[in-house]
Structure 1
Amino acid sequence: MTASTIDATSKALYRIPEAMRLLSLSRTVIYEQIRAGRLRTVRQGRSRLVSAAAITAYVDLLEQEARKGGIR
């Protein structure tokens, strides 16, 4: 298990403002990452939601990029 794994008691889906808080990113950056395909989302009606798995995958991606860049 990595440090970025979401606790099983966490919610399965997060609204954008919740994802912003979890990732410590601005609304603009969140939507840039979504458009770039780096942060996956789902639609439920008119709402855009980020799954816990997508948040974990995004953090894992950032960690991989940091390792490749020599930053630890």
Structure 2
Amino acid sequence: MESQTAYKILFTDYPDVVNVEQMCNMLGGICNKTAYKLLKSNKIKSFIVGRRYRIPKLNILEYLELIDKSTA
């Protein structure tokens, strides 16, 4: 799927940068423990503001392999 199309169609109810709880919901309701494992292993790229993870929605789409990392 083209990256711009996927970005516009999927997860429209979420902001461009989400927190861990929102990411869990986006990934089908995974638990926090699994979410933190994905973040700490860098399978989903994120950044930390203060003590909280922030995850760009684009990185979640890349993890789900819905968009190509080279075209993002």
Query: TM-score surpassing 0.5?
Result: yes
Root-mean-square deviation over aligned CA pairs:
2.4
Q: Secondary structure at the match of 2:37?
A: helix
In structure 2, the gaps of 5 or more residues are 67-72
What TM-score do the two structures reach when normalised by structure 1? 0.67
What TM-score do the two structures reach when normalised by structure 2? 0.67
Q: Which residue of 2 aligns with 1:14?
A: 18
Per-residue deviation at 1:6? Answer: 2.9
In structure 1, the gaps of 5 or more residues are 62-72
Per-residue deviation at 1:12? Answer: 1.1
- 1:22, 1:7 → 2: CA distance? 15
Question: Which protein shows a greater Rg?
Answer: 1
Correspondent of 1:37 among 25, 35, 42: 42
Q: Which residue of 2 aligns with 1:27?
A: 32
Per-residue deviation at 1:57? Answer: 0.8
Per-residue deviation at 1:7? Answer: 2.3
In structure 1, give the amino acid aligned to 2:20: I
- 2:65, 2:18 → 1: CA distance? 18
Per-residue deviation at 1:37? Answer: 1.5
- 2:19, 2:52 → 1: CA distance? 8
